[in-house]
Copies of this chain bind each other. A is one copy, B any other.
Amino acid sequence: MLTLYDFMGSGNGYKVRLLLAQLGVPYRLVECDILKGETHTPAFLAKNPNGRIPTLQIDETTHLAESGAILWYLAEGTAFAPADQLARAQTLQWMFFEQYSHEPYIAVVRFWRHFLTKLSPLQELDLPERLKKGYAALDVMEQHLASRPFFVGGHYGLADIALYGYTHVAHEGDFDLGRYPHIKAWLARVASQPSHVSIDHKI
């Protein structure tokens, strides 16, 4: 059976938990408290030398890191991954967009405001820029969704799961989604998919 090392508050981990639920794949969940350094112990670093959750254990000696890679591994050959080459690349385009232009701003600001009690001087100085870039990512999403129900190919799939992870909790970083009607409608469409689970749902 697959084992998922994860932290319940993580949107990156939630993407994997959501896909596993929708695929109906059983797994064992091992919670790691990132706030207590539990992903930087020697035992954890032997599983993922980069010290991050989610990390998926596939067999006795094989571990896979990076939410996007785990999603790809689990979804290949299912309805959540596109069957044609261009759509696969477009799915990866949005998944890389999420990790590079969205998560470092929307997820990081949420982490600072939702999980930390006090910001460092660097974080305080950096906050306005992170907010600005987070809204820039939301602008790109809003424009794309203005004429499409989902991100790739007209139906729900990996790109939606990857972007839903932190967009649906953006308000916990005080991002105001009020000006994004297309994103809000898409969030509702994603949440109404079969076998959807919430970020705090445990198996």
Give me the interface of A with B, judged by CB distance under 8 Å.
49-50, 58, 62, 64-70, 72-73, 76, 85-86, 88-90, 92-93, 95-97, 99-101, 103-104, 121-122, 125-126, 129, 140, 143-144
Contacts and interface: CB of A to CB of B under 8 A. Distances in A.
The 7 A-B pairs with the shortest beta carbon distances in the complex, nearest first, are A73-B89, A69-B93, A66-B96, A69-B92, A66-B93, A68-B96, A69-B89
A86 B73 contact: yes
A110 to B, nearest CB: 16
Contact of A64 (B66, B93, B129, B144): B93
7 contacts: A66-B92, A67-B96, A69-B89, A73-B86, A73-B88, A96-B99, A125-B125
Contacts of A89: 64, 69-70, 72-73
A122 B126 CA distance: 7
B66 A97 contact: yes
Nearest to A65: B93
